[in-house]
Structure 1
Amino acid sequence: MAHNMTHEAAEDGQKSEVSVTENGTDRSNVTPISPRAARELEVREGRVRAEEIFRTAEYEGEALRMGQVLRRVREVLGYQLTDIAKETRIRENLLMGIERMEVQTIAPGYMKAYLLTYARYLGLPEQEVVQRYTRECGGLDEVKSAAPVPKMGQIKKQGTKWPLIVAGVALLAAVVAAGVTAMVMINSTPEEPVSESPVAVSGARDSLFSDVRSEIRAPVELPLEVVAVRQAWLEVRGADGTIFLSRTLAEGETYFPRLNAGWTVSARNGGAFQWRVGDIIVGPVGPEGAQVFSVSVDEQLPRAAELVAGASVAAAESGPATP
């Protein structure tokens, strides 16, 4: 018959009561905690630690910027970027850009919405996160001016000189029309109608204007971006030499450079990056396997505008015919 013996063990000046069974096994009087309770305790402790990091903007004595605060809070809470990306529908590379405060990697119109969503997920005060983050970045207005989304007017202004083209075409058409009319009047006989040649020239002129107008109307609403088709190193510089990005980009990562500002990109493998406007591929940054340096961003705009205009025309022509 099992019996218990009670003894007192002194350890570090403190005494604790332990029960000993017949076979000599110690049985502590402390009730073991369940895995679920342990997890809840861990979550509570993590939340307290996260709130402290957010309040003090420090981690282990190191002062943190707001992007670093978000990363430390996420790590303390045990969240992975991959899981957050799935639940918030914000791409992982954009979340990483927010934590690194690389604001040029994010289309300006979406920055505030992303910050609000990310702060809500981490359980932080949303408006305070936005205010502190944008204050450290110079404010949303300055962030927008540093990386504007190239709308239709911007690309047309930089990439093409439509007013000059239209004026040139009009002048050329007028000269051709006058010349053809004069030749017909000189060489024609009285029996021959002289009105058809000018009509034909007028039609050609209208055709030219129609083509120009169709390209002018082509919508260019998506920003020009650099997309990594494979993991590779990329550097983006401003006109004054300021480095806005200099690191290895993972496959699928994108960067929105500022337009009409003399920015350039350099890559250790030009073929690993593409210029894109939405789903439209403008072309590679450089040859496959070759290093490229100081490739102009603005020089890609005419080609981008041309491709977007062509895609718009093709989409219109392939639409269902009206009865």
Structure 2
Amino acid sequence: MAHIMTPEPVEDGQKSEATVAENGTDRSNVTPISPRAARELEVREGRVRAEEIFRTAEYEGEALRMGQVLRRVRESLGFQLTDIAKETRIRENFLMGIERMEVQSIAPGYLKAYLLTYARYLGLPEQEVVQRYTRECGGVDEVKTAAPVPKIGQIQKQRTKWPLIVAGAAMLAAVIAAGVTAMVMMNNAPEEPLSEAPVAVSGARDSLFDNVRTETRPAVDLPLEIVAVRQGWLEVRGADGTIFLSRTLAEGETFFPRLNAGWTVSARNGGDFQWRVGDVVVGTVGPEGAQVFSLSVDEQLPRAAELLAPPEVAATESTKATP
């Protein structure tokens, strides 16, 4: 007669070794997830951290400026600058400069476009990123005067901003005073009157050169232009700081600055450009290989007028009249 074997009952509180982890955790009701699901979970957690950083502008209790927020968001999402540069076609050093808020190397007019593209890539509200970033930098088109923020890893807790505000006000006052002084000096500079050259006349008869006069063309009417003798970078500013040109000019390209308006010229290599009036070369913008900063356009006018003036004509008496 066969005997029926029944399993021994498992005492309460005991679990099979296969369902108990080494640390004693009961895994009998835990369903393992796939690597893909684990990755998706990690991405979701990173997105939550990124949104929290963007909303609060803080990271581990430290206040962040917008450039630092962008970096912390990128790191939370697990993105690398090299990969972002390839996909957005924005140079990696430009992306790094945006995160550090050191955008001096970015040409005016491009910063806003870069910010929109970067914010879209990170999944952040684009217009809000642009507004917050440019507000902290001081403007959309011109941010060169913005002081760079500390780099990630060396961030310190923010201190009172009053010393910076006072120092900035003092610097602004000094710049305004210097500009006013320069304008006063330029306006008070003596102007050489344009006068007709004297003509010698014989006492016995009218001079043969009685109707000949030497005239100097008014400097304000000179078609003074800047010509690139080879490819180079040039910047032209108005008296109020407005940038009318700031880019690399190709060889042979020209630019006509406004005259008697206080405009200035800057170049990375003064030898790349020449002052010309038509086919007459007045001179180079600066020495070969030397940088030029805020060179006055109006100061080139006297030299250009002198080069274009016809030679003086003077007649002398060949014989003296007799009584």
- Which category describes the TM-score, using the shorter chain as reference length? 0.3 to 0.5
1 or 2, which has the higher strand percentage?
1
- TM-score using structure 1 length: 0.44
Higher helix share: 1
Task: State the TM-score, normalizing by the size of structure 2.
Answer: 0.44
